[in-house]
Copies of this chain bind each other. A is one copy, B any other.
């Protein structure tokens, strides 16, 4: 397949690289900043462009991997292309692509870092959607090239998935950051927490998180909770968060 990649961020980099790895030809990388496009294009032997009207209309696949609020503008410039146009956003309805003849969604449910190696792409759940049978078959094909986990998920459910991912990834990472911050203030090293972080994630691979909840809140251990709140004196934001999370855990009792 001849592929045009619109975007050069983490998601664009990983999908474009995985497609290249599976024998597809990356013809163009578009980015608002030409330097960003060039960097990725060089890795993939593609052309770098920063002008949407320069997009090759004869490619087989157009990947839109830009910020959510830029998708509709990009889509309005792809109405005349021949190939399949997909966006990769968890929070955006497929309807934003409605004016494009062949369109679909390919949402990778993973957190990407540019520096991260690609060998884990096979493990990334890919959520696909299309209202058109042929486009669905096509995006399914592409998804199966890239990953062993392919799910058909409509726009409404994809939004729910994206919301759940915010809790299980973005908010979780912020709690790691708070843990790190608390340690730093007492000259303790974040390394101390790393095995615990690994094991906490490992535990729920085989068990339901509700069944393996531990800690003062689930034990209703008010003495420890009060001691922790006292330790957080002078950090009203963290006290508030500690209280909200403990309250929420107690509600599951």
Interface residues of A (CB under 8 A from B): 67-69, 91, 109-111, 113, 116, 120, 123-125, 127, 149, 151, 153, 156-157, 159-183, 185-186, 188, 190-205, 207-210, 212-219, 221, 223-224, 227-228, 231-232, 237-238, 240-242, 244-245, 247-249, 251-252
Contact = CB atoms under 8 A, between A and B. Distances in A.
B123 A166 contact: no
Given A163-B231, A183-B161, A196-B111, A172 B170 contact: no
B169 A196 contact: yes
A183 to B, nearest CB: 5
Contacts of A214: 111, 169-170, 173
B169 A215 contact: yes
Nearest to A249: B174
A18 to B, nearest CB: 14
Contact of A201 (B156, B180, B200): B200
Contacts of A196: 109-111, 125, 165, 168-169
Contacts of A180: 164, 208-210
Given A110-B196, A196-B111, A167 B173 contact: no
Q: What is the copy number of this chain in the assembly?
A: 2
Contacts of A159: 227, 231
A241 B172 CA distance: 12
A204 B170 CA distance: 12
Contact of A178 (B157, B167, B238, B240): B167
A182 B167 contact: yes
Contacts of A202: 198, 201
A223 B68 contact: yes
Given A91-B216, A164-B183, A177-B213, 13 more contacts: A110-B195, A110-B199, A111-B196, A113-B203, A124-B195, A153-B188, A157-B186, A166-B216, A167-B179, A170-B214, A172-B200, A176-B209, A181-B210
Contact of A215 (B67, B170, B252): B170
